[in-house]
Amino acid sequence: MLEKLKKYERIFLSTFNIAYRRYLFARIDFNDRFIAIFGPRGVGKTTMLLQYLQDLKKLKKNALYITLDYPFLVNFDLFDFCEEFVEHGGEYLLIDEVHRYKDFAVHLKSVYDVFKNLKIIITGSCATSILSAKADLSRRVTLYHLNGFSLREFLEVHYHLNLQRYTLENILQNHIDICKNIIQQIDIQTVWKNYLEFGYYPFFFDKRTNFLQNLLETINLTLDIDLVSLGLIEQKYTYKLKKLLEVICASEPFEVNYTRIAAAAEISRAKLYDYINYLKNGELINLLEEDTRGIKKIAKPAKIFLNNTNLLYAFCDEQKIGTVRETFFVNQVQEMYDLSRLQKVETRKLQLAGTGERLMISNGYNRYNARFAVRLSPHGRIYFLQATLSHGDCSRTDEMITKVHGFSKED
């Protein structure tokens, strides 16, 4: 078995030539013995593994890449294989699609405890499987989440630009200068539209002519294989999840009505919450919670969004600009921030990861259909600045037109 898997690894590497490295590559501490990377299908987890495998090969390390969706691995014994690999000098084992292996966490826990010199990196396409495994692999595994392309990454790959990374605070304070710098290099209006339609999933660059078809196939794999293999839903009911996606697509995020959605998707209201959770764990939707405390925290989500704007264009017959922008915003900032909706003010609040600082994003539009930008005053008050973007214009207008009182950075 070991020689057969090495043969397939050589086949993979012989045709692999992707040089661009994702943001997560720099964040991972590869000195850890056990690393898990999870994220939706099609965002580049396999690419990251193969890039790291190439690095290990250059260092003359005994490393092996395997994917557990090989059909001949149906009766594969993972622990026995790891034992064989270590006996042959194995140092690094890179396992793709680990969620396809039943009870993988139990087996890998034993592998970790027995083979002290073996380093393991696994990937999975369903958050449920990896996050559930975290409990079984407590104090052993380090988790990393990989998103699809950010707008910056899309620009770098598609237009061969080398763009600086900016924090949200930097964007809020210096958005005019940042915007002016970018529009000198590219036609931002065209680029923006391209990203919204096909820029989130890296596989676009391999399958440009039939991207939407491949995206729909990726969604079907998530529903028909990933969620079914985990026992979350029976195969005969996956069509209801697809129906639910269509209903969510047709609903305004700010007009979510759970009774109406359940009726339109032809499922019970009680089952609706389970299905919504499945779609969230499959990273096909995002949920925005209410800014509440106590028992209300476990109530229904305030808003439901498709995970990214590419899904909007794949599923929806019509894409309303407000929905597109909110979907983009939630998708782009959720990796670093916790989002919630204020009940009394039509704004969005961001909790900075690891700090007590909060920012507010308004839900307003001006006549150019632009978002309100945000600035924190030196006194802790939160002010909104109306920023326009029309034909490359980055000017600031109507400064401090709105002031939301009663909230400070300590709230």
Within a domain: 195: no
Same domain, 125 and 213: no
Pairwise CA distance, residues 298 & 398, whole Å: 39
pLDDT in tens, 173-221: 888 888 888 888 888 888 889 999 999 999 888 877 788 888 888 888 8
Give the domain CATH number at 273: 1.10.10
pTM: 0.78
**Same domain for 296 and 258:** yes
Q: Smallest Cα–Cα separation from 250: which of 322, 328, 329, 318?
A: 318
In this structure, what is the dihedral angle of CA atoms 25, 139, 41, 312, given to the nearest 10 degrees? -90
Domain annotation covers residue 361: yes
Domain end, chosen from 294, 324, 354, is at: 324
Pairing of strands 34-38, 285-290: unpaired
Domain for residue 162, yes or no? no
- Do 138 and 33 belong to one domain? yes
Return the sign of the alpha-carbon dihedral for residues 291, 294, 295, 298.
positive
- Beta-strand relationship, 396-404 and 382-387: antiparallel
> According to the model, what pLDDT value does residue 300 have?
62
pLDDT of the residue at 348 = 46
- Among 324, 353, 381, identify where a domain stops: 324
Q: In angstroms, rounded to a whole number, what is the distance separating the alpha carbons of residues 129 and 115?
A: 23
Q: Say which residue the tokens 């609706």 belong to.
A: 272
What strands lie across the sheet with 285-290, from one edge to the other?
303-306, 285-290, 337-341, 347-352, 358-362
| CATH number for the domain that contains residue 100 | 3.40.50.300
The residues, any chain, with a CB within 8 Å of residue 169's CB and separated by 6 or more, are 359
* Helices H / strands E in the chain, number of each: 15, 13
Quick one: 316 and 346 in the same domain?
A: no
Last residue of a domain, one of 104, 128, 145: 145
Contact at 8 Å (CB) between 122 and 95?
A: yes
Asked if residue 212 belongs to a domain, the reply is: yes
- Give the pLDDT of residue 391: 38
Query: Do 141 and 10 fall into the same domain?
Result: yes
Q: What radius of gyration, in Å, describes the C-alpha atoms of the chain?
A: 23
- List, for residues 64-80, the tens digit of each pLDDT value: 999 988 888 878 899 99
Instruction: Provide the 3-class DSSP secondary structure of residue 387.
Output: strand
E-strand ranges in 200-306 read 285-290, 303-306
The verdict on 308 and 359 lying in the same domain is: no
Residue 10 sits in the same domain as residue 131: yes
**Are residues 273 and 305 both part of a single domain?**
yes
| Residues 286 and 365 grouped into a single domain | no
Instruction: Report, as ranges of residue numbers, the positions in the chain whose pLDDT lies below 70.
Output: 126-136, 138, 230-231, 253-256, 290-301, 340-411
Range of the domain at 121: 2-145
- Within 10 A of 129 (CB to CB), how many other CB atoms are there? 23
Q: Are residues 29 and 132 in the same domain?
A: yes
Give 60: exposed, middle or buried? Use CB within 10 Å, 0-12, 13-18, 19+: exposed
The pLDDT tens digits for 149-180 are 999 999 999 888 888 888 877 887 888 888 88
Same domain, 11 and 123: yes
Q: Alpha-carbon distance 180 to 159, whole Å?
A: 17
| CA-closest candidate to residue 95, choices 83, 106, 110, 82 | 82
Residue 246 counted as domain residue: yes
Tell whether 257 is covered by a domain. Answer: yes
- Tell me what pLDDT residue 56 has: 97
Q: Is 172 within the bounds of a domain?
A: no
Q: Which single residue is written with the structure tokens 């989440």?
A: 145
Q: How many domains does the chain have?
A: 3
- Is there a single domain that holds both residue 213 and residue 274? yes
Do the domain assignments include residue 163? Answer: no
